[in-house]
Structure 1
Amino acid sequence: MKQSYVYILKCSDNSYYTGVTSNLESRMFKHHTGFYPESYTSSRRPLQLVFYCEFTDINLAIDTEKQIKKWSRAKKEALINGDFDALVNLAKKSFDK
């Protein structure tokens, strides 16, 4: 089975970029060299790979990427830091008036 990856980059402006690829090494090279000059990361180099996970199902990888992109910065940082207990708490919505 072909591997796919969901990854998070920390950009020089401290923002996060989440992506999905079937070749992480090649994709990282393209990010680092500014291969796509109009891309989000091109003007935010240097970049640091701070998280990645592997998938055997590309559809699940794409769904996971879309989900992470909607997360708050705090929730992304909990994932990056492996703080899975915090992920649960950060997923709770507050309905305070």
Structure 2
Amino acid sequence: MKMTTEITHRYFEFNPKNGADYYALISANTKEEAINMYYDNVSDRDMEPDVDCLELSSPEAWDKLKNCDDSEAELSIEEKLEEFESNGVLLWPRF
């Protein structure tokens, strides 16, 4: 399976090591958009007023997504690829 060569967004990793309350991998067009998605979907802005994230290359982000521990085996590799190529939260803690 091969990823498409046209990448229309970027990948951002939120990590407790960098001040985030929870881990998340988010695809977005801008860092600001990723931070807003993080607050809307993963954590509360009131709790984390100054969260930061690290931008990952497309191959780094893909490796994290395809190798994540999907203990319930919910997504096939094709479904993960489809998710990877869209904007939104890709990985986050599922408690």
State TM-score, norm by structure 2: 0.39
Asked which structure has the greater CA Rg, the reply is 1
Q: Which has the higher contact order (CA 8 A, sep 6+)?
A: 2
State TM-score, norm by structure 1: 0.38
